[in-house]
Chains A and B, each alone.
Chain A
């Protein structure tokens, strides 16, 4: 087991280094130059001297291999540099927004679990009936509906709903306050994006629950349980559900990792100042240092979640060989 964990950990390294190289290469192909955008943006006159100085300051004048060396060294000494746009530390820029994105991701994951597991179980227990079709339709609709549109509809619904029942329109608060300082304010702001993304991500988990349940319900021991006259409810809830949870846990773990990156669109709709919005901004501003740090953060979270899920899987299911 320990050997397996160490081996899997070592296998993460080439992926992460490969991702770092890919990000570097991708961004160096970007035609935009941050100094031009910063000083020459919106038709303003750009002093060539000023631009040159800016490029020297940011290290953009160095040969590409020097830039690459500085970049790779940064990861190992955990110095991600300063944002080329704001001039503040990248770690500061990310740190300010990390809590918001993490909280939305956690809340969205919880939402998707609450939706997915009951629906998946019902759908499997009533396979090929009307209930099954409705649940499957509901979950496929969740994948089909763009989360930004769902977000717009939610805001619209809130405006109209509060206008009807409270007499004046109410909007979720714009500014972010930590859940530890002002829970009511915090929840009333973040519950909506969490619901919108949670519904979308529940779709995959619902289908996973359904197919895992169907597989388990076809096992011999379930037939035995039926043969000895157990009620169906007990069979489904006690005998089948626990054994069907393994793949569901996996998919939820992997989705959580994707959520951190997938919030890009949702944060835009709800105007949340999180990592997704920061990413869109840094991409449009050609802010290399910030973009590469953000992408690497998302990739690292994703790769590590995968690792944790794999190890959990091997630990929970002894039949899996550590190869």
Chain B
């Protein structure tokens, strides 16, 4: 798809496909996915330019301005420490995106490697790997993540570990089932008969052909990781104060002040919902495009 617009008009008679045409087609065929992509782009924009967008320091307490209602001065109001909610939400996008992308990328890559290796080598290795994956899959995500946080402690980096570990076996299982079919392909036999090494066959011949399930898992993980991080932070076992994180903003004060200052719990929750909504819509569109069997369904 993307290589087409890079190549100039070499063959006459073919209309050059522009990137705008692709976008136009995407908007028509995947209206929900396009909506998701817009949310993601806005969020990335917010995270990258947080310094310029946020009017106040997200960590600065200001006791003259505690629990101020939304106004022109404080767009979304302030929390119980007088911190500007709008600034904290803008900076929170940075935390959410960082955790989301780190967990999804590492988790999906780990799963890709384990899944392909498990399918390629087969035999005892595959059997043992599958039993280990069974064990990991028997834990609900949040229970596993909480148990891991209790070992490594809290904080942004620890949360990433806690969320990534349960992702790996989930991706490995899906990738393995695709890789099993690829392993039987004649070109893999051919590669083996020429005497290519395991590494080369795995990296050059099998891995590129399981990219579809890999990308589907990767995009699905993005939203899931953001939501898990918010849940852990809400339980007080995730990102710690004073780092601005949406889940953390719902912890502590949010429930206490729910009635007198409803803006404190409303905005961060809305931010989480919109972000995860966007990533899920986008992930669905990616799945529709990459998985021909599901194309008409979804």
Residue positions of A touching B, CB distance < 8 A: 14-16, 18-19, 22-23, 26-27, 29-32, 133, 136-137, 140-141, 143-146, 148-149, 152-153, 155-156, 159-160, 169, 207, 210-211, 214-215, 258, 261-262, 264-265, 268-269, 279-280, 283-284, 286, 291, 295, 298-299, 302-303
Q: How far is the CA of A137 from the CA of B250 in the complex (A)?
A: 24
Interface segment among B58-66, B69-77, B130-138: the answer is B130-138
Interface segment among B87-95, B142-150, B177-185: the answer is B142-150
Interface size class of B (residues with CB under 8 A): 35 or more
With contact pairs A26-B147, A295-B147 given, residues A15 and B277 touching in the complex (Cβ less than 8 Å): no
Query: In the complex, which residue of chain A has the Cβ closest to the Cβ of B134?
Result: A15
Query: In the complex, which residue of chain B has the Cβ closest to the Cβ of A294?
Result: B143
B30 to chain A, nearest CB (A): 12
Contact A144 B259 (CB under 8 A): no
Contacts of A215 in B (CB 8 A): 297
Give 24 CB contacts A-B under 8 Å: A14-B131, A15-B131, A16-B138, A27-B147, A31-B153, A140-B284, A144-B223, A144-B227, A144-B280, A145-B269, A145-B272, A145-B273, A149-B250, A149-B272, A153-B266, A155-B258, A210-B298, A214-B296, A215-B297, A262-B140, A264-B143, A268-B234, A279-B143, A283-B149
Contact A18 B132 (CB under 8 A): yes
Contacts of A31 in B (CB 8 A): 151, 153
With contact pairs A146-B234, A265-B234 given, residues A280 and B259 touching in the complex (Cβ less than 8 Å): no
Contact B150 A30 (CB under 8 A): yes
Query: In the complex, which residue of chain B has the Cβ closest to the Cβ of A124?
Result: B297
Query: In the complex, which residue of chain B has the Cβ closest to the Cβ of A262?
Result: B140
Contact A152 B255 (CB under 8 A): yes
Q: How far is the CA of A30 from the CA of B146 in the complex (A)?
A: 12
Contacts of A156 in B (CB 8 A): 258-259, 262, 265
Residue positions of B touching A, CB distance < 8 A: 31-32, 131-132, 134-136, 138-140, 142-143, 146-151, 153, 223, 227, 230-231, 234-235, 237, 247, 250, 254-255, 258-259, 262, 265-266, 268-269, 272-277, 280-281, 284, 294, 296-298
Q: How far is the CA of A160 from the CA of B260 in the complex (A)?
A: 10
Contacts of A144 in B (CB 8 A): 223, 227, 272-277, 280
Task: Tell which of B32, B140, B284 has the most Cβ of chain A within 10 Å.
Answer: B140
With contact pairs A140-B284, A148-B250, A153-B269 given, residues A299 and B151 touching in the complex (Cβ less than 8 Å): no
Contact A261 B273 (CB under 8 A): no
B249 to chain A, nearest CB (A): 10
Q: How far is the CA of A299 from the CA of B223 in the complex (A)?
A: 24
Contacts of B296 in A (CB 8 A): 214
Contact B235 A30 (CB under 8 A): no
Q: How far is the CA of A299 from the CA of B139 in the complex (A)?
A: 6
Task: Tell which of A14, A143, A148, A299 has the most Cβ of chain B within 10 Å.
Answer: A148
Query: In the complex, which residue of chain A has the Cβ closest to the Cβ of B230?
Result: A146
Contacts of A19 in B (CB 8 A): 135, 138-139
A136 to chain B, nearest CB (A): 7
Contacts of A169 in B (CB 8 A): 259
Contact B147 A291 (CB under 8 A): yes
User: Among B143, B148, B250, B272, which residue has its beta carbon within 8 angstroms of that of A298?
Assistant: B143
Contact B235 A265 (CB under 8 A): yes
User: Among A15, A16, A137, A286, which residue has its beta carbon within 8 angstroms of that of B150?
Assistant: A286
A275 to chain B, nearest CB (A): 11
Q: How far is the CA of A284 from the CA of B237 in the complex (A)?
A: 9
Contact B255 A146 (CB under 8 A): no
Contacts of A279 in B (CB 8 A): 143, 146
Query: In the complex, which residue of chain A has the Cβ closest to the Cβ of B296?
Result: A214
Q: How far is the CA of A137 from the CA of B277 in the complex (A)?
A: 9
B223 to chain A, nearest CB (A): 7
Contacts of A268 in B (CB 8 A): 234-235
Contact B146 A15 (CB under 8 A): no
B122 to chain A, nearest CB (A): 17
Contacts of A140 in B (CB 8 A): 32, 277, 280-281, 284
Contacts of A284 in B (CB 8 A): 150, 237
A188 to chain B, nearest CB (A): 19
Q: How far is the CA of A32 from the CA of B150 in the complex (A)?
A: 9
With contact pairs A146-B231, A146-B272, A149-B273 given, residues A26 and B151 touching in the complex (Cβ less than 8 Å): yes
A304 to chain B, nearest CB (A): 10
Query: In the complex, which residue of chain A has the Cβ closest to the Cβ of B268?
Result: A149
Q: How far is the CA of A32 from the CA of B140 in the complex (A)?
A: 23
Contact A159 B32 (CB under 8 A): no
Query: In the complex, which residue of chain A has the Cβ closest to the Cβ of B223?
Result: A144
Task: Tell which of A23, A279, A280, A283 has the most Cβ of chain B within 10 Å.
Answer: A283
